[in-house]
Amino acid sequence: MKQMLKNQAKQTGIALAAVAAFAALGTGSAQAQEFTAASITLENAGESAGSLNCSFRETGLIPGEQIRYDCASQYVGVMEQCMYRNKPVGNNRLYIYNNIHPEELEHFDVGNNGRVRGTVITQIPEPGEANAIICTAPAELAVTAVRWCNNSLTDMTNGILATTVAELSDQLVKTAQGSVPGCATLANGPFTTPGE
Amino acid sequence: MKHTFGKQAKLSGIALAAVATFAVLGFGTAQAATFTSADLSINSVGFLEAAFKETGLAPAESVNYTSGATDVGWVTQCFVKNKPVSNLPIQVHVAHTADGLTTTRTYTATNRGVITQAILTAYPTVEEEVEDPLCPETEGVEITEEITAIRWCNASLTDTTNNIVGASEPSLFRQIKRNGSSAVPECGVLATMPTDI
């Protein structure tokens, strides 16, 4: 009996030591959150062409937790113009926006493995009705060029900055007139308030 | 010897004449910017189109252009299945310079100092929602308001960098729908009418 208790005590000691060791190593408990991959690019096709695309993989999160991510830009320059049969009609207009974020900050669920992999798209902002260009049919309004400045991807829940990209731009309609000025110029405004 | 002098004098004369001819034609020197073609017209949807070719520009020169008009008038009418509804009134619309009838463009000359382009300017419109529509909604019938004819007044195309007028037209008219009204007032009248877009 004495021997048995001794054995049990020994086993318990080993188990406790193991737990302590695992805890020290971080296995089985919350690891430090970190982005193992993060990129900021522009959507290059489809309806969202020219929008900001933040893709990421974050690990070391608590399973079941919800994380909010922000895909933001400090300044965005957007050139708009009416187009008819791929030809520009009338004058173009440059809109400059500041502090642009996704329309809604989505919550991402953390998987059982403590990881989140996802993409957040921030759409090209649009002007309010009062500032919008009205195209005479059959001409149609198009965003012809865009420039995103000082872009960042952030885990808002844990306050971790994943990555930053200083400048991204795209000429979306090659036949249109004019390009968006550089970020240094955009920073001077004047800024347009995005519409609903 | 006398004969040789005579020949030399003759040859010199020919050479001088050639130099003078080249100078007149502008070979080997900077040519003056000029519109070798410039045409103002109304395209099939009623937009003012200024098509041009300008030569004699410096290679890669950036040139500003304006194209526009002082007044524009157009008529809209109700149509059902491409036929005008005769018992509904037509509507005359008018816009002036202040309503945005000028388009500005900047183009870059080729290495040969040439710019060939076309500038489109639309007549202005407003958002569709109006309180008293020209074409009343009728159940089961698709009725549409369409432009039938348009007139652009004092249209012009100008190279504003070199201050050269490429083309100007006091009045341009186009019937857009053959079976529609053509009752657009003359330019003299349009100029006196208030804006109605």
> Is the model's pLDDT at A73 over the cut of 70?
yes
Per-residue model confidence (pLDDT) at position A31? 67
What residue segments make up the domains of chain B, in order of their start?
Answer: 30-125+139-186
C-alpha A194/C-alpha A99 separation (Å) is: 11
Per-residue model confidence (pLDDT) at position B16? 44
In a mutational test of the A interface, the residue from B62, B74, B120 whose CB has the highest number of chain A CBs within 10 Å is B120
Nearest CA in chain A to B67: A90
B122 touches chain A (CB under 8 A): yes
Lowest-confidence pick of A30-39, A84-93, B127-136: B127-136
C-alpha B167/C-alpha A90 separation (Å) is: 18
Per-residue model confidence (pLDDT) at position A103? 87
The structural architecture, per CATH, of the domain B30-125+139-186 is Sandwich (2.60)
> Is the model's pLDDT at A96 over the cut of 70?
yes
Give the alpha-carbon dihedral of A21, A27, A29, A31, to 10 degrees. 120
A82 touches chain B (CB under 8 A): yes
> Band of the pLDDT at A141, cuts 50, 70, 90?
very high
B79 touches chain A (CB under 8 A): no
Across the interface, whether the CB atoms of A136 and B121 are under 8 A apart is answered: no
Per-residue model confidence (pLDDT) at position A129? 87
Across the interface, whether the CB atoms of A139 and B122 are under 8 A apart is answered: yes
> Is the model's pLDDT at A22 over the cut of 90?
no
A142 touches chain B (CB under 8 A): no
Across the interface, whether the CB atoms of A178 and B124 are under 8 A apart is answered: no
Q: Where is pLDDT greater, at A26 or A137?
A: A137
Q: Is the pTM of this model over 0.90?
A: no
Per-residue model confidence (pLDDT) at position B126? 84
Which residues in A lie closer than 8 A to residue B45 (C-beta atoms)? 84, 138-139
Which residues in B lie closer than 8 A to residue A88 (C-beta atoms)? 120
Per-residue model confidence (pLDDT) at position B35? 98
Each as own residue / partner, the long-range contacts of residues B123-130 (CB below 8 Å, 24 or more positions apart, any chain) are: B123/A136, B123/B46, B123/B47, B123/B72, B123/B74, B123/B93, B123/B95, B123/B150, B124/A134, B124/A136, B124/B95, B124/B99, B124/B100, B124/B197, B125/A134, B125/A135, B125/A136, B125/A137, B125/B197, B126/A134, B126/B197, B127/A134
A141 touches chain B (CB under 8 A): no
Per-residue model confidence (pLDDT) at position B8? 57
In the block, tokens 């509904």 appear at: B88
Interface of A with B in 90-109 (CB under 8 A): 90-91
Which residues in B lie closer than 8 A to residue A136 (C-beta atoms)? 46-47, 122-125
Which residues in B lie closer than 8 A to residue A137 (C-beta atoms)? 125
pLDDT above 70 as % of chain A = 84
Q: Which of B45, B47, B104 sits opposite A91 (nearest CB)?
A: B104
Across the interface, whether the CB atoms of B122 and A138 are under 8 A apart is answered: no
Per-residue model confidence (pLDDT) at position B18? 45
> Is the model's pLDDT at A61 over the cut of 70?
yes
Across the interface, whether the CB atoms of A90 and B45 are under 8 A apart is answered: no
Q: Which of A136, A177, A178 sits opposite B122 (nearest CB)?
A: A136
Averaged pLDDT, groups of 10, chain B, 197 residues long: 51 47 46 95 98 97 97 96 90 95 96 97 83 79 92 98 98 96 96 94
B144 touches chain A (CB under 8 A): no
CB B153 within 8 Å of CB B101: no
CB A41 within 8 Å of CB A168: yes
Q: Which of A84, A177, A178 sits opposite B47 (nearest CB)?
A: A84
Per-residue model confidence (pLDDT) at position A60? 95
Size of interface A-B (CB pairs under 8 A): 42
A112 touches chain B (CB under 8 A): no
Q: What is the pLDDT of residues A162-193, one digit of tens each?
A: 999 999 999 999 999 889 999 999 999 999 99
Q: What are phi and psi of A104, to 5 degrees?
A: -135, 140
Which residues in B lie closer than 8 A to residue A179 (C-beta atoms)? none
Tell me the average pLDDT across A1-5.
Answer: 47
ipTM value of the model? 0.80
